[in-house]
Structure 1
Amino acid sequence: MEASKLDILAFGAHADDVEIGMGGTIAKFAAKGKIIGICDLTRAEMSSNGTVETRMQEAKEAANILGVRVRETLDIPDRGLFLNDEYIKEIVRVIRRYRPELVFAPYIIDRHPDHGSCARLVEEAVFSTAIRKYDEQAGLDAHRPKAIYFYMVNGFHKPDFVVNVSEFMDKKLDALHAYESQFRKNAAAFDTPLINGYIETVEARERLFGKEAGVVFAEGFLSKKPLLIDNDLLGEEK
């Protein structure tokens, strides 16, 4: 079956990364009718809590909550996201199949090395996917996304822009709570930062970004290129 063309394709190292960083933005644009996909590079098999099977089911539920149309999981080893041509080719093939307008990845500075490694791999893939002769044998046409932007997972950095997610923060929180194996504290859970008020910390971060922008909640993003504003400087909807 031919893949649907996506407006937004967001990559994460593990299922839940994208929801943490930009779940509200996804819910907002999905509600506007945009076609959105998520690609998790690993099966998160090294996670301290839960199983691969549980995580996959939680990811499916979270995607449904946010209105995501497509979710794929690659088989790159967890904690093995090293920069190599085979992994870049796998990501290039995903981008070429779905031909997204925008690509998102974790910000490179993060306490978890996999998130920075994911950023490097995706950035390399976005560049290579526009090169016609790169990975020609896969039989997929070259594609150049309009931009790549970076969301925050564990970090708190000065964003280059924010998205007002005040009306969609509940969707983001519901999506995060779908990952019970990762965020719920119980007697069987291994003690990690994720089960010690992590969701509340994410909510507080988005509240702070919102306060800076004059709204209740906002998600922050970083960009290596300046944003071009044409005729919506006054905040008017196009």
Structure 2
Amino acid sequence: MENKKLHVLAFGAHADDVEIGMGGTIAKLASEGKRIGICDLTDADLSSNGNVTLRKEEAAQAAEILNVEVRTSLGFPDRGLFQKEQYIREIAALIRAYKPQLVFAPYFEDRHPDHGNCARLVEEAVFSAGIKKFQTDGENMPHRVERVYFYMINGFHNPEFTIDISAFIDKKLSALRAYKSQFEKTDDSVDTPLVNGYIETVEARERMFGKLVGVTYAEGFKTKVPILMNRDLIGE
């Protein structure tokens, strides 16, 4: 593992989770010179469509579209993201290696159990990574993440904050379309919720979030801690 300090490390249970929830935000931050990493906890080996090799190729293409610096997978078993000490240690080791300021994970409330379980594992690992005596393989110097935020995948929840992605919606949609095995219906594909207008649904959600805050498109996020505003509420 090449140690490269990141501004943001976003975790997903499967490749395409992060792009669905915050692809526009990643593209926006990358355009500002921020270093972004994505970690998929599984190789999505139980996906109804596609296969591990194809999904890895699609994930690499999506990461390139979004200008992500690091993309990796921990290879945990698909549908096996349970609270195991070894999983927490491996995630914590990754956090210590890349020392992100911010960590993102899926929001807990989602129709897919792996997404909520991913969030719980990441939250445990973030806490453990900051404990000096907590042992991991490799880097054992503690690292405290400044904030953990949660993005939405399948849900439409009331966000605590939003990020304007109006200028980056095309990049987000392009990154999603890189996952042809998941979002394009073919004669051989299994009929899943993803192949029946899913990308259009995501786009509509971001348009709705944008409408709520007066922009064209926005991504919504959840947080367990209040947001501190470092500017005057009312300008001159």
TM-score by length of 2: 0.97
Query: Counterpart amino acid of 2:217?
Result: F
- 2: CA distance between counterparts of 1:43 and 1:6? 22
Shift of 1:14: 0.2
- 1: CA distance between counterparts of 2:63 and 2:136? 32
**Corresponding residue for 2:191?**
191
Query: Counterpart amino acid of 2:150?
Result: F
Partners of 2:7 and 2:36 within 8 A in 1 = yes
Correspondence 1:37-48 to 2 at 5 A? 37-48=37-48
Shift of 1:3: 1.1
Query: Counterpart amino acid of 1:35?
Result: R
Shift of 1:135: 1.1
Consecutive aligned runs of 4 or more in structure 1 exceeding 4 Å deviation: 232-235
Partners of 2:7 and 2:102 within 8 A in 1 = yes
Question: Is residue 2:113 matched to residue 1:113?
Answer: yes
Shift of 1:41: 0.1
Shift of 1:231: 2.0
- 1: CA distance between counterparts of 2:197 and 2:33? 33
Query: Counterpart amino acid of 1:66?
Result: L
Partners of 2:93 and 2:139 within 8 A in 1 = no
**Corresponding residue for 1:91?**
91
**Corresponding residue for 2:175?**
175
Query: Equivalent residue of 2:38, what SS?
Result: strand
Q: Residues 83 and 136 (structure 1 numbering): CA distance in 2 closer, same or farther, change over 3 Å? A: closer
**Corresponding residue for 2:150?**
150
Shift of 1:136: 5.3
**Corresponding residue for 2:54?**
54
- Residues 198-225 of structure 1 deviation map (CA, whole Å, 9 limit, x = unaligned): 0000000000000000000000000000
Shift of 1:2: 4.2
Partners of 2:159 and 2:222 within 8 A in 1 = yes
Query: Equivalent residue of 1:74, what SS?
Result: strand
Correspondence 1:157-168 to 2 at 5 A? 157-168=157-168
- 2: CA distance between counterparts of 1:136 and 1:218? 37
Query: Equivalent residue of 1:153, what SS?
Result: coil
Q: Residues 185 and 93 (structure 1 numbering): CA distance in 2 closer, same or farther, change over 3 Å? A: same
- 2: CA distance between counterparts of 1:147 and 1:227? 10
- 2: CA distance between counterparts of 1:134 and 1:147? 20
**Corresponding residue for 1:205?**
205
Query: Equivalent residue of 1:75, what SS?
Result: strand
Partners of 2:208 and 2:217 within 8 A in 1 = yes
Structure 1 residue ranges without an equivalent (≥5): none
Q: Residues 49 and 164 (structure 1 numbering): CA distance in 2 closer, same or farther, change over 3 Å? A: same
Query: Equivalent residue of 1:155, what SS?
Result: coil
Shift of 1:83: 0.5
- Residues 109-161 of structure 1 deviation map (CA, whole Å, 9 limit, x = unaligned): 00000000000000000110000000156442100010000000000000000
Q: Residues 232 and 46 (structure 1 numbering): CA distance in 2 closer, same or farther, change over 3 Å? A: farther
- 1: CA distance between counterparts of 2:204 and 2:137? 47
Structure 2 residue ranges without an equivalent (≥5): none
- Residues 69-99 of structure 1 deviation map (CA, whole Å, 9 limit, x = unaligned): 0001011100000001100001001100000
**Corresponding residue for 2:34?**
34
Query: Counterpart amino acid of 1:124?
Result: E
**Corresponding residue for 2:214?**
214
